[in-house]
Structure 1
């Protein structure tokens, strides 16, 4: 399947109060996303609290999402680890799951490898994927979470080295770096915004779309904003961005997905449970989130409880 354009959701992982996966809610969330017109889904990305999932849970989340989607839209499977061997093994496992259409893999976290280390790491993941499937690999540059930045020159080396590396989710937060990347990469290579508040700038520079956090809450309008921008309908794109800008910012007032899940619970989409080290947002943050959600017409319930303390 060709690399998608538009808006993809980095889907949250719902949990029950006892810390177990809330599988029916996850299935329903994926269904709702498809019905809301989202262009693709990301299973087991950063927003999914993936580092807290066991290997078995990681596979189960991907399978539930692909089953719910049933081939209607693409599904990217997150395969990230700070051990190159583990990341490569995960990519190979995920690539075999029916319905998975791409592998998304982030910088190795904690190790802080240099550019050569990242080159060798991503190359190994791409090669492991190619050994079992013809799926594309999308790199994921998120230095704020991993402690290391994937530079444009290294991306170019990877494109030349491994033909299945088809795109990058850019979450560096650096518009100059995104501009450099889009200036240098082949037109067939897709650069996706990894930050909601950088989406319009990335599209204006030639980006292919957005992997969104806010689309967990507002999939229809985030998709409409991306489609408008890609169609050069900047009046519509800017109007939607202005409407939801406070929510896009609020989702990162505290560590994601804390604010995202808090608002989704207010919307009645899930029960608000986390796994440590993620904890519920502070009461002051919750109050402000509820006010914004109310002003945007997202609330379906009254004030929500503060959620459990994420003891699992």
Structure 2
């Protein structure tokens, strides 16, 4: 599973001013990531505003992303939801050409028990012809996938190969690393803690800030994975303020503001999200210049 070691980027979905998908911007973004030497891409995760896209739009974006990527990097498709039957159906009918794995967020809003979460992912595992990554993000789902449930799923289903952990809970990370199967991948779901998570044994990050700074982030992650924390730490520290600004008024509005400044794509988002304030935009531009200069 070395193809999923390093920096994965959860791609934003560029939009035109009229709200339609900006495929020129998406092509620019994909090529920008590849030029920045990231290890793999995630299409239509949370950062891709998947919750506001229709089934038809998702299908076209997945196809377009695979076409532009053209096998240059591994691709992961984000397919999740809070209706297990619907998620399973979507995975069964997913056209896998060009894709290497599925990333599926734990169900939101329903607040299932740990047994409910286990049964949800059991159904996903049984529906998927590709490897599956769990995605634990309690700040969005209002429920946590416990270390016990994560490791139980990892042990019971061989096609569940890793987890994107965005709980921010280092006690949880420690338990997963201690109890997981040897080949199960722990991946940071939060940019600010990717470096310390790698020190515990995580194999990389699925990033938001990598949309705008793929080279800077992936350079840091590669150094950390080599165990050269003395060289990685200054790069990590140089990204702290940029990362804070990215999330100051929500994701992916911050990342899109930086991408607009870098002339990769526009900064339009779909309601209920809105673009960043003028004050935050100025701060993002100033910090971007500081890093890339």
TM normalised by structure 1 equals 0.91
CA distance in 1, matches of 2:292, 2:34: 21
Q: How does 1:145-164 map to 2 (within 5 A)?
A: 145-164=140-159
1:68-112, CA deviations, whole angstroms, 9 ceiling, x for partnerless residues? 111121100000111001111222233x32111000000111111
Q: Which blocks of at least 5 consecutive residues in structure 1 are unaligned?
A: 299-312
Q: Cα distance, 1:3 vs. partner?
A: 4.9
Q: How does 1:1-150 map to 2 (within 5 A)?
A: 3-94=3-94, 96-129=95-128, 133=129, 135-150=130-145
1:209 aligns with 2:208: no
SS of the residue corresponding to residue 33 of structure 1 reads helix
Runs of 4+ residues over 4 Å off in structure 1: none
RMSD of aligned C-alpha atoms?
1.3
Q: Cα distance, 1:186 vs. partner?
A: 1.4
CA distance in 2, matches of 1:170, 1:60: 28
After superposition, the Cα gap between the structure-2 partners of 1:2 and 1:241, relative to the gap in structure 1 and judged at 3 Å, is closer
CA distance in 1, matches of 2:12, 2:277: 20
SS of the residue corresponding to residue 122 of structure 2 reads helix
SS of the residue corresponding to residue 168 of structure 2 reads coil
1:138/1:165 contact within 8 Å kept: yes
1:118/1:150 contact within 8 Å kept: yes
Q: Cα distance, 1:34 vs. partner?
A: 1.3
CA distance in 2, matches of 1:273, 1:123: 37
CA distance in 1, matches of 2:4, 2:254: 27
1:248 aligns with 2:243: yes
2:155/2:181 contact within 8 Å kept: no
- Say how many residue pairs are matched: 293
Q: Which blocks of at least 5 consecutive residues in structure 2 are unaligned?
A: none
1:243-277, CA deviations, whole angstroms, 9 ceiling, x for partnerless residues? 11111121111110011111111111111111001
Aligned residue in 2 for 1:310: none
Q: How does 1:271-310 map to 2 (within 5 A)?
A: 271-297=266-292
SS of the residue corresponding to residue 9 of structure 1 reads strand
CA distance in 1, matches of 2:237, 2:71: 33
After superposition, the Cα gap between the structure-2 partners of 1:207 and 1:220, relative to the gap in structure 1 and judged at 3 Å, is same
After superposition, the Cα gap between the structure-2 partners of 1:35 and 1:288, relative to the gap in structure 1 and judged at 3 Å, is closer
CA distance in 1, matches of 2:147, 2:8: 23
CA distance in 2, matches of 1:256, 1:268: 19
2:151/2:181 contact within 8 Å kept: no
CA distance in 1, matches of 2:189, 2:280: 23
Q: Cα distance, 1:116 vs. partner?
A: 0.8
CA distance in 1, matches of 2:148, 2:45: 25
Aligned residue in 1 for 2:257: 262
CA distance in 2, matches of 1:282, 1:29: 23
Q: Cα distance, 1:283 vs. partner?
A: 2.3
Q: Cα distance, 1:158 vs. partner?
A: 1.0
Aligned residue in 1 for 2:188: 193
SS of the residue corresponding to residue 28 of structure 1 reads helix
Q: Cα distance, 1:2 vs. partner?
A: 5.3
CA distance in 2, matches of 1:17, 1:274: 9
2:209/2:243 contact within 8 Å kept: yes
Q: Cα distance, 1:291 vs. partner?
A: 2.0
CA distance in 1, matches of 2:92, 2:203: 26
